[in-house]
Amino acid sequence: MASVPGFPDQATITEVGPRDGLQSEPVFVPTESKIALIQALLDAGLRRFEITSFVSPRAVPQMRDAAEVMAAFRDRSDAHLTALVPNARGAGAAIEAGVDAMVLFASASESHNLKNVNRSRAQSLEGFAEIAKLAQGTGVALQGAIATAFGCPFEGEVPVAAVVDMARAYRDLGMRHVTLGDTTGMATPALVIERVDALRAAVPEVELALHFHNTRGVGLACAYAGLSLGITHYESSIGGLGGCPFVPRATGNVATEDLVYLLHESGVATGTDLDGLIAAAELAERFVGHELSGQVMKAGPRLKTAPMDSVRTANG
CB 275 within 8 A of CB 40: no
CB 13 within 8 A of CB 237: no
The residues, ordered by sequence, that sit 6+ positions from 87 with a Cβ below 8 Å of its Cβ are 127, 131
> Three-state DSSP class for 50?
strand
Amino acid at 114: L
Q: List, as one string, the DSSP characters of 247-263.
A: STT---BPBHHHHHHHH
Active site residues: 244
Report d(CA 239, CA 280) in Å as an integer: 8
Report d(CA 241, CA 28) in Å as an integer: 14
> Three-state DSSP class for 52?
strand
As a 3-state breakdown, the chain gives helix, strand, coil percent values, each rounded to 5, of 40, 15, 40
Could you give the C-alpha distances from 186 to 149, 205, 221, in angstroms and in order?
Answer: 9, 26, 12
Question: For the stretch 130-148, what's the b/e string if a residue is b when 16 or more beta carbons lie within 10 angstroms of its beta carbon?
Answer: ebbebbeeeebbbbbbbbb
Q: Decide the pairing of beta strands 233-236 and 207-211.
A: parallel
Q: Largest Cα–Cα distance of the chain, in whole Å?
A: 76
